[in-house]
């Protein structure tokens, strides 16, 4: 599988921080322009998500120490990993994104597929 080519530390970061293609899309936008301050509406327009989903994702990343927050007329976010380890992990993901974005999106799609299967499996009748 192509995603097996991802280094273990990148897979670990993605597993901990990215749960969907939408979350990966937002992270990639943050990485593309790391000095930019984003509000939920601007991120939604850029990433193709809804403003509510964009805000939820941005807040989740902020709560996980990946973003700076600035409050003005709206809440704005920008990429600013809070530890050297997080910064290094983001740089590793960014390097793969720039050379092989498809690999990252295949990983996220596979994760989403596994999540749907896990959810549906919870409703299966099992014989005892």
Domain 7-110 carries which CATH code? 1.10.10.10
Q: Phi/psi zone of residue 39: left (φ > 0), alpha (ψ -120 to 50 degrees), beta?
A: beta
CA distances (Å), 112 to each of 36, 41, 70, 119, 123, in order?
Answer: 28, 24, 31, 11, 18
Give the number of C-alpha atoms closer than 13 A to the C-alpha of residue 103, restricted to the C-beta side: 18
Q: What is the number of H-type helices and E-type strands within the chain?
A: 6, 2
What's the start-to-end Cα distance of the chain, in Å?
A: 35
In whole angstroms, give the CA distance from residue 29 to residue 54. 11
Q: Which residues of the chain have pLDDT under 50?
A: 1, 113-124, 126
What is the Cα–Cα distance from 27 to 93, expressed in whole angstroms? Answer: 10
- CA–CA dist 52, 59 (Å, integer): 11
Between CA 41 and CA 53 the distance in angstroms is 10
Q: What are 30-56's pLDDT values in tens digits? A: 999 878 999 999 999 999 999 999 999
**Cα 74 → chain centroid:** 22
Sorted by where each begins, the domain ranges of the chain are: 7-110
What pLDDT is stored for residue 61 in this prediction?
Answer: 97
What pLDDT was estimated at residue 116?
38
């Amino acid at each position: 599988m192509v995603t097996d080519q991802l280094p273990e530390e990148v897979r670990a970061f993605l597993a901990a921080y990215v749960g969907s293609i939408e979350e990966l899309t937002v992270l990639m936008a943050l990485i593309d322009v790391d000095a930019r301050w984003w509000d939920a509406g601007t991120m939604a327009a850029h990433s193709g998500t809804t403003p509510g989903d964009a805000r939820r994702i941005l807040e989740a990343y902020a709560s996980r120490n990946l973003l700076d927050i600035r409050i003005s007329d709206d809440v704005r976010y920008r990429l600013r990993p809070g530890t050297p380890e997080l910064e290094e992990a983001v740089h590793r993901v960014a390097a793969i994104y720039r050379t092989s974005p498809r690999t990252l999106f295949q990983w996220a799609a596979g994760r989403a597929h596994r999540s749907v299967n896990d959810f549906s499996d919870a409703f299966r009748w099992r014989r005892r």
